[in-house]
Amino acid sequence: MTTIFRGFHGNCALLVILLIIFLQNASTLHRTLRHYEVLRSEDCRHKIVKRGIKQSSHPYNVIKEVEFKTLGKNFRLILHPHREVLHSKFKAYNVDGDGNETVVHLDHDSFFTGRVFGELESSVRAHIDDGLMTMSIHLPDETYHIEPSWRHLPRSAEKTMVAYRVSDVKLNWNKHGNGPPGGQMPCGYIKEGLELEIDDMADSNMDGHLHHENDITKSRRKRQADQYEYTPTKTRCPLLLVADYRFFQEMGGGNTKTTINYLISLIDRVHKIYNDTVWQDRTDQEGFKGMGFVIKKIVVHSEPTRLRGGEAHYNMIREKWDVRNLLESISKMATPCI
């Protein structure tokens, strides 16, 4: 199963891939969560509490209220439509086995943002389609996710959803207890501020060195600080999202619009994480925030790509891919980076 993310900057696309939600198929659900609950759509109450007299793109022209109970908590959500994660020239396409593209039109007003009633420090990102919700609810002490059950529970009843807490996620390095196996931290772990401690230790041992070496060290630190004290002018990384046929079948339920809506919901969650993050190189700097993503184009393969003699394509029928070969196949995409 392959989903490709491409942006102006390769590292933007890579970081999005790393943050993709972990629930990829039903066989891993019980191994991934300590606890989850099934929520029925008929147990959720939806009502419009405000509707403008005239049709308008203003985000507060329509306000929707959703109430339900799950995981021992009563949720009352105040939501309004939003299109923050979609580029002004956003397009979505369905691609058949011969590479023919067909434009797909979406209901942009099915995507919502908002808050939990009575919770000042809360936020909600949601997609609601015919009573089924794909939703992320952030509270100060916990984050809750809700997704359609069919994506994870093959024998689930229609119009049901899976609800779980982030704290119930079983991390790969946390299988044998509350910490990493053998006390080892996951790959890429570093202690924040460690480079500052090393520099301070170096300074304390420099009494026997020449004075000009201290000046060089201070000058280097000043250059490093000045290098990151700026206000970014481009705060959005445009993305091209491509879903292969297997992703279309398994995560999109064989429906192009469902696949597209799912991808938009994923990027919407990732965008919020980035947008709310304060980026700073050192603790004594102000840093900056407001960085995020917009989706400019989505391509969904509704059929495996039909090939001619000996060709390879990331969307071909193939049970397993060697990582190198898959990356090489992806790199040959005819669609340029947007």
Question: Which pLDDT band, with edges at 50, 70 and 90, does 320 fall under?
Answer: confident
Q: pLDDT tens digit string along 248-265?
A: 988 888 999 999 999 999
User: Is residue 125 scored above 90 in pLDDT?
Assistant: yes
Q: What is the pLDDT of residue 317?
A: 77
Distance CA 273, CA 88 (A): 21
Residue 202 and residue 217 in contact, taking contact as beta carbons nearer than 8 Å: yes
Strand-by-strand arrangement of the 45-51 sheet: 37-40, 160-165, 142-148, 132-139, 123-129, 111-116, 73-81, 62-70, 45-51
What pLDDT, on a 0 to 100 scale, did the predictor assign at position 12?
46
Give the pLDDT confidence of 184-224 residue by residue, as tens digits. 333 334 444 444 444 444 444 445 444 455 555 555 555 55
Dihedral angle computed from the Cα positions of residues 258, 263, 264 and 270, in that order, rounded to the nearest 10 degrees: 150
In contact, 106 and 255? CB cutoff 8 Å? no
Q: What percent of the chain has a predicted confidence (pLDDT) above 70?
A: 67
pLDDT for 131 beyond 90? no
Q: What pLDDT was estimated at residue 332? A: 67
**Cα of 178 vs its chain's centroid, Å:** 25
Q: Comparing 13-27, 78-92, 266-280, which segment has the lowest mean pLDDT?
A: 13-27
